[in-house]
Amino acid sequence: MPTGRTAIASVPWLVLASVLCVASPIAAQDAGSGMITIVPGDKQWEKPGAMPYGMRIMYLYGDPAKPGPYVYRVRVPTGYKWPPMKYPDERVVTVLKGTLWAAQGERYDPMKMKELQAGTLFVTPANTPHYQWARTEVILQVVGTGPIDNPVTYVDPDDDPRAQ
């Protein structure tokens, strides 16, 4: 058993070995299991028509317009502002990168916003007005259940880029 300096020096190798063991199932797929593997690098960032300019979306799994679960990622630049809006379904959101500020309500009020760091998960219940601001570049992962016919409703219809 390693002791002293040898034990400390072996820690990075143990971490690397653990990461490789966890990551290897992602690269390999058991054709008989029915498991689906999605590699984000194989997908493209797209412009969403229903959101303000600057946002990009990468659809990873499912289709919000069809029954069943769906997963997509959102990337926005520093300073990006989501106006007050609501979704027709409950959404589970994980902050993958950056610092996001968010609050619930029909009026944009920075004093009510909470800071959400990478790793934070939050749930937006269906039809709950909320708004957000990206302090840094932010990447989110969003999980919901379809079908939904209108992905977002803006509290103020003038904020809807589809109407402009």
Give the span between the Cα atoms of 145 and 89, in whole angstroms.
7
Query: What's the pLDDT at 40?
Result: 87
pTM here?
0.78
Domain ranges of the chain: 1-31, 40-163
For 124, list phi and psi in degrees, rounded to 5.
Answer: -105, 105
**Res. 163: pLDDT tops 70:** yes
In CATH, what number does 40-163 get?
2.60.120.10
Mean pLDDT score, 11-27 = 33
Contact 125, 105 (CB under 8 A): no
Instruction: Kindly report, residue by residue over 34-89, the tens digit of the pLDDT.
Output: 899 999 888 999 999 899 999 999 999 999 999 999 999 999 999 999 999 999 99
* pLDDT over 50 at 117, yes or no: yes
pLDDT at 164: 84
What secondary structure, in 3-state letters, does 22-89 show? Answer: HHHHHHCCCCCCCCCCCCHHHCCCECCCCCCCCCEEEEEECCCCCCEEEEEEEEECCCCEEEEEECCC
